[in-house]
């Protein structure tokens, strides 16, 4: 059960727990762990003063999605063996821009193709919630039995049983008539 499914924008994105654990490894050069910048900066050297807080986020673009989520939430997903489906919840909060872990932790690092508080569209921040499967044994058509529908079924069954009783009594009368006729012969 290493496969994880993320639901974002009514689309399913697949990933793998091992892949997520590798991506969360901050010792790797292309780690998608990022921090939120206070604002857009034109400079290449980003200091801790230009970053909102020391709270790390996970850049969802590394797994084909959009926005960022708390790295601790993604770490939970990477180690959670009980659940497989997760829903991305839009917090309605955006970050002006982000800086990558390497640039933040090691000022003066190579900023080529790294996030460094540069101009970008505001980045949406998401929460992760555990989802539930609606799979019900192969049938996607779930029928709810409302009170009205239950009553209709009961009425139908009542009418059927009345019809059957009526036919049986008619047959038994018919048989009795035949017996009487046979006796009289």
**Which tens digits make up the pLDDT trace of 97-116?**
888 888 777 766 655 556 76
Does the pLDDT value for residue 163 go beyond 70?
A: no
Does the pLDDT value for residue 71 go beyond 60?
A: yes
CA distance 83 to 1: 9
Does the pLDDT value for residue 149 go beyond 80?
A: no
Mean pLDDT confidence for 131-149: 56
Residue 143: what pLDDT? 47
Does the pLDDT value for residue 155 go beyond 50?
A: yes
Residue 73: what pLDDT? 95
Average pLDDT, the chain: 79
């Amino acid at each position: 059960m290493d496969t994880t499914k993320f639901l974002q924008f009514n689309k399913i994105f697949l990933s793998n727990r091992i892949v997520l654990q590798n991506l969360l490894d901050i010792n790797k050069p292309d780690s998608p762990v990022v921090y939120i910048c206070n604002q857009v900066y034109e400079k290449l050297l980003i200091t801790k003063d230009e970053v909102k807080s020391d709270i790390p986020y996970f850049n969802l673009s590394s797994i084909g999605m959009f926005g960022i989520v708390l790295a601790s939430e993604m770490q939970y997903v990477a180690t959670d063996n009980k659940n497989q489906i997760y829903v991305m919840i839009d917090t309605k909060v955006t970050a002006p821009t982000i800086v990558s872990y390497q640039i933040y932790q090691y000022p003066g690092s190579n900023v080529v193709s790294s996030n460094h508080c540069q101009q970008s569209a505001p980045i949406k921040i998401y929460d992760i919630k555990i989802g539930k499967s609606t799979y019900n044994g192969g049938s996607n058509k779930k029928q709810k039995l409302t009170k009205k529908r239950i009553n209709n079924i009961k009425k139908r069954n009542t009418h059927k049983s009345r019809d059957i009783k009526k036919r049986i009594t008619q047959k038994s009368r018919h048989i009795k008539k035949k017996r009487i006729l046979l006796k009289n012969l």
